Amino acid sequence: MIAAAPVRPGPPEGRAHRGYGEAMARRLVRIRLLAPLAHRDFALLWAGMSVSLLGDGVYYVAIAWQVYQLSHTPTALALVGVAYTAPQLLLLLLGGVVSDRLDRRWVLIGGSLLSGTAIGVLGGLAASGRLELSWVFALVAVHGAGQAFALPAFSALVPDLVPAEQVAAASSMTQFFQPLALMLVGPALGGGLILAVGTGPSFVLDAATFVVAALVLRRLRARPPAPAGERRRSLRRDLREGLAFTASHTWLWGTLVAASIFLLVWDGPFEVLLPYLVKFDLRQGAGALGLVYAAGGLGAVATAPLVAQLGLPRRAVLVMYGAWTGGALGLVVFGLATRLWVLVAVSVLAMGLMTAGNIIWAALMGTMVPGPLRGRVASLDWLVSNSLVPVSMGLTGPVAAALGARATLVAAGLAAAAVTTGFLFLPGIRHVAPPPGAPPRTSPVAPG
């Protein structure tokens, strides 16, 4: 763990200013959600992430609307999801090794710029009227490749920037602004932009946010990679180390397997059929879809400060799985709802519960995985958890065609809830043990 850099000494007349800064830091610590902002590099990382996520919220609505303008079938959007996730899954393990070998901030910047370039080209083609589905497939694949490096680098970098006792608060803060930007402000802005200027400028705006984020991230202090002797080790040995650590902890590998099955039955119906339901069944516009996403963001935003203030629960795994089970059942209500306001209300509750589980998971990963292994374990997390997402996307269209969109949503919600409930009975999954030599925890996680 790299401690926050000390404040540089200033001239005598700056003493009052430093006293004010220290007082502000103490006030931030009292509000646990904001405490990590007292650390300069985390504040910069958070600012860059926030700008990028705001653009991603616009992209989230624009890509669904663009695909349904080019093709009126859920299968087309499902294939776009496959095109995004397939290269990401292929490159994630390499991204994890690279993020453990190199300065993680540069890995994050490089992956973000690759994604931003692809989305910028997508926006230019859409604005010129020359965009075809084949171009969408190719460009979202490049976007996914960029994220294969950015995601593990970001997950591994956050615990390096704050003290161990603030990792849970840092995870909560990330989960606070992520839905605020990705599901609340961003989709609302995206829906308005699409109505006003079309999808092309909306994609260009998202691309610009990647560039702004990269410029902010350049100001982070360098985090040296592993010593030269360690860097000369083979990629295969690095991967074996990450796999061995993951396999030795049931709470870790069990949750990864559970998440992969959960997302197999949950992700495709949520990503593909919810926009379809709003557009073709309820006959609502892009603004209504943005409203449903924004409501989910509101639920997540309301949940994050509460989890941050309470800290990790003693029975962390049990609470985490319970929250995910409640969120999964939201799909059942989506499939039964015939009014837009019901979709909005359930989105608030379901996304709030999903966010609570995600915060606990991120905090466990940040505090229970040793720093030198964090990039590789994070890449395994993204890889295993999302390994069946392309299958989910590919199956959603045919299953919805056979059963209907609503029946598919109901069945998916029930199946996802059964997965999270069933894995709680896996022997040892509720026992979370800290790595050897770890300092005592301020918020202990007791065996289930």
Q: Tokens representing 330? A: 């939201």
Mean pLDDT of 74-89: 82
pLDDT on residue 314: 79
Strands in 33-128 per DSSP E? none
436: phi then psi, degrees, rounded to nearest 5: -55, 135
Taking alpha carbons only, the member of 394, 400, 395 closest to residue 81 is 394
Q: Tokens representing 275? A: 């926009």
> Mind listing the pLDDT tens digit for each residue in 96-113?
888 888 888 888 999 999
Mean pLDDT of 325-354: 91
Alpha-carbon distances, residue 42 vs 49, 208, 220, 376 (angstroms): 10, 22, 8, 21
Sign for the pseudo-dihedral over CA of 132, 58, 119, 205 = positive
Are 384 and 252 a contacting pair, CB within 8 Å? no
> Mind listing the pLDDT tens digit for each residue in 186-222?
777 887 888 888 888 999 999 999 999 899 888 887 6
Q: Tokens representing 114? A: 């690759």
Q: Distance (Å, rounded) from C-alpha 81 to C-alpha 75? A: 10
pLDDT on residue 8: 29
Q: Distance (Å, rounded) from C-alpha 162 to C-alpha 116? A: 28
Contacts 24+ apart (CB under 8 A), 41-44: 41/4, 41/5, 41/161, 41/220, 41/221, 42/4, 42/158, 42/161, 42/162, 42/170, 44/216, 44/217, 44/219, 44/220
Sign for the pseudo-dihedral over CA of 342, 348, 352, 59 = positive
First to last CA, the chain: 27
pLDDT: which is higher, 255 or 155: 255
Q: Tokens representing 292? A: 């449903």
Alpha-carbon distances, residue 97 vs 214, 244, 364, 440 (angstroms): 21, 14, 20, 28
Are 315 and 430 a contacting pair, CB within 8 Å? yes
pLDDT on residue 447: 34
Q: Is the pLDDT of residue 161 over 50?
A: yes
Give CATH for domain 32-220+237-423. Answer: 1.20.1250.20
Domain ranges in the chain are: 32-220+237-423
- 79 Cα distance to chain centroid: 21
Q: Quickly state the pLDDT bin for 226 (edges 50, 70, 90).
A: low
69: three-class secondary structure by DSSP: helix
Are 302 and 363 a contacting pair, CB within 8 Å? no
441: phi then psi, degrees, rounded to nearest 5: -85, 145
Taking alpha carbons only, the member of 153, 165, 168 closest to residue 360 is 168
pLDDT on residue 33: 62
Predicted TM-score of the model (pTM): 0.67
